[in-house]
Amino acid sequence: MAIAKPYKIAANDIVDETIVSRSRFICYISPCTSHEEAKNQLKKCQKDHPQASHHCYAFLTGRPEDSQGYGFSDDGEPSGTAGRPMLSVLQGSDVGELCAIVVRYFGGTKLGTGGLQRAYGGSVRQALLLLRTSTKVPMVEQYLICDYHQINDVLYLVEQAKGEIIKQDFTAQIALVIALPEAQLVNVKQQLQTLSSGLLTLKSTR
């Protein structure tokens, strides 16, 4: 199984407007991690722009290349002219966990199929120029039991791997739930084994 690598995610909200043949295209981009979040953002746009002709959207809830966590809608525009080109721009941005909504106020001039695709895709592309990103490091949770004399070494290894202790329970021994960057998991397992002559073993919490 491939290790999930770090990826960029949206870190701010954007509102950007373009005019194409007198039609107003207002693009909203926001961080988004679920279908529910995307729907809520859409409802807000519909409430803020009740007179708009269309509220088209596209979103990615996970990694930019994830083929499962996405959705889009043309919202009454001809099929394939709004949501799909918007999604294509998002997927090509190499940024995950974001939602784009383009609100259109019709200006009286029909743009045609190609014109609509360019307008909706271009609106998202222009807004993305204003986007700030942060890096998300995929983490995995592991369970570990250690003795009191081992705890300082364990904490040191976790810190070196840029992991964190999520939970600790002190009884006869110390039970830890640790979050580690997935890319560091094998390395930390090996170091713990070496440190403890094979006695310390990380186990998945799932």
CATH label of the domain that carries residue 164 = 3.30.70.240
Please tell me whether residues 82 and 129 are part of one structural domain: yes
pLDDT of residue 139: 86
Distance CA 34, CA 12 (A): 16
Indicate yes or no: pTM above 0.75. Answer: yes
Nearest to 168 by CA among 160, 159, 177: 177
The 10 Å Cβ neighbour count of residue 146 is 19
Over its length of 206 residues, how does the chain's per-residue pLDDT go in tens digits? 455 688 999 999 999 999 999 999 999 999 999 999 999 999 999 999 999 999 999 999 998 888 788 999 999 999 999 999 999 999 999 999 999 999 999 998 999 999 999 999 999 999 999 999 999 988 889 999 999 999 999 999 999 888 889 999 999 999 999 998 888 888 899 999 988 888 888 888 77
Give the pair of three-digit tokens for residue 152.
Answer: 């300082």
Residue 203, CB-side half-sphere exposure with 13 Å CA sphere: 10
Residue 2 placed within a domain: no
Helix (H, G, I), strand (E, B) or coil at 43: helix
Residue 55 β-bridge partners: 103
Residue 1 belongs to some domain of the structure = no
Of the residues 119, 135, 151, the one at which a domain ends: 135
Predicted pLDDT at 123: 97
121 & 57 share domain: yes
Judge if 93 and 161 occupy the same domain.
no
Note the pLDDT of residue 196: 86
38 and 61: one domain? yes
Is residue 63 in some structural domain? yes
Q: What is the CA radius of gyration of the chain?
A: 23
In this prediction, residue 1 carries a pLDDT of 44
- Residue ranges in 53-169 assigned as alpha helix (H): 83-92, 112-128, 151-160
Shared domain for 125 and 151, answered yes or no, is no
The verdict on 85 and 179 lying in the same domain is no
Domain co-membership, 184 together with 100: no
Range of the domain at 152: 138-204
Residue 178 lies in a domain: yes
Tell me, what's the pLDDT at 3? 57
Question: Among the three residues 107, 135, 163, which one is the final residue of a domain in this structure?
Answer: 135
Do 160 and 108 share a structural domain?
no
The whole-number pLDDT of residue 2 equals 53
Is 122 among the domain residues?
yes
At 138 the pLDDT is 83
Q: Does residue 43 belong to any structural domain of this protein?
A: yes
On whether the CB atoms of residues 62 and 99 are closer than 8 A, the answer is no
> Domain end: 135, 153, 173, which one?
135
Q: Other CB atoms closer than 10 Å to residue 172's CB: what's the count?
A: 8
Residues 130 and 28 in one domain: yes
Amino acid at 94: D
Query: Within this chain, do residues 45 and 124 fall inside the same structural domain, yes or no?
Result: yes
Q: What is the amino acid identity at position 28?
A: Y
